[in-house]
């Protein structure tokens, strides 16, 4: 049979066709009224997509660029910060804050788990300048309690800024960042907005802007104050990724269309879609007799799955690619060979989810030797979840033909 390549990875995610067309047509100079109008529209749309009244900025970088910007703009050498780390991207916060000379306290949770709020509270100090965390840890498939951490900071009367890497959280988790008091929230283009890598975006609170006036770490390209000043004129401080910005505008229009033209409603639909696909996958995995890696705090961005005992997860990853051109991800770092991950973020739907689960059944039948395996068990479990989560009242049929 022919094979059609499909990404089931938590980034880059499958590309939205309308965004690809917008990129191809983006023959526009960035210092023109036409581009300024596009840029300002996208910035305004991003505010709605993030769900904030705060400034939202765009950077021509990967999400890690926005992570670095949040550290360099908010801290000074010697500042004490708190990092919540439970996977490869929590470790990235550790490395970034240390690179900029911060004194770093760390609350760690085992891979696949999330932090105890009591541990966060006990590690918070009066002089803590900022708290850095992930909304979801895509390396493990775990979701963290951003709201709980934000409430903890308020209840402790802490002045610490809260910085959240939501690169895989946006579009898969419902946030109310202004009400919670999140000072910086970071997103990336290759995730829920369904376009290629190369853009990072971040919301910045008034408290964060004030903190930048006293921070002493060096920054040049990633000087957020410079970006804010230029954004007010509909421009970027430096050469923008014009084609990607056009693609983002098309993607945000598409998301709005999913909500009947309302971008906030479309954002909710996008999150609900990811939650449904993730719930379908978890049910199917358990029906197969496999175990979830993050069962107590599962994210909707990606589901991390343990292979059967004695099986390297790379075998499953390779089989899915060789037989079906379905690209899923192995574990990262020390988790390589220990887990595989199936994504649900962005341009995935019911049909995609059923397809990857049916392919996983085929791999299980030929390569995993699972006790009690039967074709259809995983797909049936997923179907049941979908039916339950999308059930709606059907209007009764008209009783009389003459009523037409």
Q: Which residues pair with 200 in a beta bridge?
A: 59, 188
| Section 173-189 average pLDDT | 98
Using the predicted structure, report yes or no on whether residue 402 has a pLDDT greater than 70: no
CATH classification of 6-11+262-389, choosing from 3.30.300.30, 3.40.50.10420, 3.30.1240.10, 3.90.1150.10? 3.90.1150.10
The DSSP secondary structure of 113-140, one letter per residue, reads: ----HHHHHHH--TTEEEEEEESEETTT
| Section 197-202 average pLDDT | 98
Contact between 107 and 120 under an 8 Å Cβ cutoff? The reply is yes
Quote the tokens at residue 5: 């390549």
Q: Does domain 17-258 have CATH number 3.20.20.20?
A: no
pLDDT of residue 396: 42
Percent of the chain with pLDDT over 70: 97
How confident is the prediction for the chain on average, in pLDDT?
95
Using the predicted structure, report yes or no on whether residue 397 has a pLDDT greater than 50: no
Query: Given phi > 0 = left and psi -120 to 50 = alpha, else beta, which region is 214?
Result: alpha
Phi, psi angle pair for 10, to nearest 5°: -80, 20
Give the span between the Cα atoms of 239 and 378, in whole angstroms. 49
- Sheet with 103-108, edge to edge strand ranges: 55-59, 200-204, 184-188, 161-165, 128-134, 80-85, 103-108
Using the predicted structure, report yes or no on whether residue 401 has a pLDDT greater than 80: no
Using CA of residue 346, residue 191, residue 90, residue 335, what is the dihedral sign? positive
Cis peptide before 215 (omega within 30 of 0): no
Q: Please, what is the angle between helix 33-50 and helix 263-288, to 10°?
A: 50
Using the predicted structure, report yes or no on whether residue 182 has a pLDDT greater than 50: yes
Using the predicted structure, report yes or no on whether residue 145 has a pLDDT greater than 80: yes
| Section 175-200 average pLDDT | 98
Using the predicted structure, report yes or no on whether residue 179 has a pLDDT greater than 80: yes
Where does the pLDDT of residue 188 fall: very low under 50, low under 70, confident under 90, or very high at 90 and above?
A: very high
Q: Do domains 6-11+262-389 and 17-258 have the same CATH topology?
A: no
Q: Which residues pair with 304 in a beta bridge?
A: 341
Give the span between the Cα atoms of 214 and 76, in whole angstroms. 8
| Section 82-101 average pLDDT | 97
Give residue-wise pLDDT tens across range 269-309. Answer: 999 999 999 999 999 999 999 999 999 999 999 999 999 99
Quote the tokens at residue 400: 């009389």
Phi, psi angle pair for 384, to nearest 5°: -65, -45
Other C-beta atoms lying within 10 Å of the C-beta of residue 400: 6
Give residue-wise pLDDT tens across range 56-75. Answer: 999 999 999 999 999 999 99
pLDDT of residue 31: 93
pLDDT of residue 400: 36
Where does the pLDDT of residue 392 fall: very low under 50, low under 70, confident under 90, or very high at 90 and above?
A: low
Residue 370's Cα: distance from chain center in Å?
32
Give the three-class secondary structure for 19. helix
pLDDT of residue 369: 87
pLDDT of residue 290: 96
Q: List the alpha helices (DSSP H) in 61-191.
A: 63-74, 88-99, 117-123, 146-155, 177-180
Size of the chain in residues: 404
Using the predicted structure, report yes or no on whether residue 8 has a pLDDT greater than 80: yes
Sequence ranges of the domains in the chain: 6-11+262-389, 17-258
């Amino acid at each position: 049979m022919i094979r059609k390549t499909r990404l089931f990875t938590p980034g880059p995610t499958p590309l939205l066709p309308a965004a690809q067309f917008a990129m191809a047509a983006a023959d526009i100079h960035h210092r023109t009224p036409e581009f300024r109008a596009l840029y300002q529209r996208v910035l305004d749309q991003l505010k709605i997509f993030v769900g904030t009244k705060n400034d939202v900025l765009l950077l021509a970088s990967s999400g890690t660029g926005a992570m670095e910007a949040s550290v360099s703009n908010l801290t000074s050498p010697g500042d004490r910060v708190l990092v919540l780390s439970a996977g490869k991207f929590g470790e990235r916060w550790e490395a970034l804050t240390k690179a900029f000379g911060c004194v770093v306290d760390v609350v760690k949770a085992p891979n696949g788990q999330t932090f105890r709020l009591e541990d966060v509270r006990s590690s918070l100090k009066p002089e803590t300048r900022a708290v850095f965390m992930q909304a979801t840890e895509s390396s493990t498939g775990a979701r963290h309690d951003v709201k709980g951490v934000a409430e903890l900071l308020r209840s402790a009367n802490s002045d610490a800024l809260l910085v959240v890497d939501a690169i895989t959280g946006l579009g898969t988790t419902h946030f109310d960042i202004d009400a919670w008091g999140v000072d910086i929230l970071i997103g990336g283009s290759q995730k829920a907005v369904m376009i290629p890598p190369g853009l990072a975006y971040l919301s910045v609170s008034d408290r964060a802007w004030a903190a930048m006036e006293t921070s002493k770490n060096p920054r040049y390209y990633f000087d957020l104050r410079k970006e804010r000043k230029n954004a007010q004129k509909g421009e970027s401080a430096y050469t923008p990724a014009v084609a990607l910005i056009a693609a983002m505008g098309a993607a945000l229009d598409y998301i709005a269309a999913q909500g009947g033209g309302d971008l906030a409603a479309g954002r909710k639909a996008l999150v609900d879609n990811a939650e449904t696909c993730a719930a379908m996958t978890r049910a199917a995995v358990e029906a197969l007799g496999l175990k979830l890696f993050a069962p107590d705090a599962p994210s909707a961005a990606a589901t991390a799955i343990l292979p059967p005992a004695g099986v390297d997860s790379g075998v499953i990853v390779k089989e899915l690619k060789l037989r079906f051109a379905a690209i899923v991800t192995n574990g990262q770092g020390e988790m390589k060979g220990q887990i595989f991950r199936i994504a649900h973020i962005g341009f995935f739907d019911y049909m995609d989810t059923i397809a990857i689960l049916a392919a996983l059944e085929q791999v299980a039948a030929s390569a995993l030797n699972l006790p009690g395996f039967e074709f259809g068990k995983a797909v049936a479990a997923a179907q049941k979840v979908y039916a339950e989560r999308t059930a709606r009242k059907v209007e009764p049929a008209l009783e009389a033909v003459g009523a037409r």
